[in-house]
Amino acid sequence: MDNKVILTCAVTGGHNNFQKHPDYPITPEQIASNCIEAGKAGAAIAHIHVRDPKTGMRSGDPKLFREVVHRIKDSGSEILVNLTTSEGARFAPGSQDAKVGGPGTTLMQPLERLVHIEELKPDICTLDVGTFNFGETIFVNTPEHLRVMAARIQELGVKPELEVFEPGHIMFAHQLIGAGFVQDPPMFQVCLGIPHASPATPEILSVMKGLLPENARWSAFGISKWEFDIVAQAVTQGGNCRVGLEDNLYLNKGEFASNVRLIERAVRIIRELGRDPATPHEAAEKLGLNR
From first to last of its 291 residues, what are the pLDDT tens digits of the chain? 579 999 999 999 988 888 999 999 999 999 999 999 999 999 999 999 999 999 999 999 999 999 999 999 999 999 999 999 999 999 999 999 999 999 999 999 999 999 999 999 999 999 999 999 998 999 999 999 999 999 999 999 999 999 999 999 999 999 999 999 999 999 999 999 999 999 999 999 999 999 999 999 999 999 999 999 999 999 999 999 999 999 999 999 999 999 999 999 999 999 999 999 999 999 999 999 977
Strand 255-256 relative to strand 250-252: parallel, antiparallel, unpaired?
A: antiparallel
Say how far apart CA 33 and CA 11 lie, in whole Å.
10
What pTM does this model have? 0.97
Output the pLDDT for position 15. 87
Domain at 269, CATH number: 3.20.20.70
77: in domain: yes
The closest of 94, 176, 57, 93 to 128, measured between CA atoms, is 176
256: in domain: yes
Q: In total, how many domains does the chain have?
A: 1
34: in domain: yes
Write out the chain in H/E/C secondary structure.
CCCEECEEEECCCCCCHHHHCCCCCCCHHHHHHHHHHHHHHCCCEEEECEECCCCCCEECCHHHHHHHHHHHHHHCCCCEEEECCCCCCEECECCCCCCCECCCCCCCCHHHHHHHHHHHCCCEEEEECCCEEECCEEECCCHHHHHHHHHHHHHHCCEEEEEECCHHHHHHHHHHHHCCCCCCCCEEEEEECCCCCCCCCHHHHHHHHHHCCCCCEEEEEECHHHHHHHHHHHHHCCCEEEECCCCCCEEECCEECCHHHHHHHHHHHHHHCCCEECCHHHHHHHHCCCC
242: in domain: yes
96: in domain: no
User: Following CA atoms 148, 154, 156, 160 in sequence, which dihedral angle do they give, to the nearest 10 degrees?
Assistant: 90
Domain interval for residue 17: 4-91+101-287
138: in domain: yes
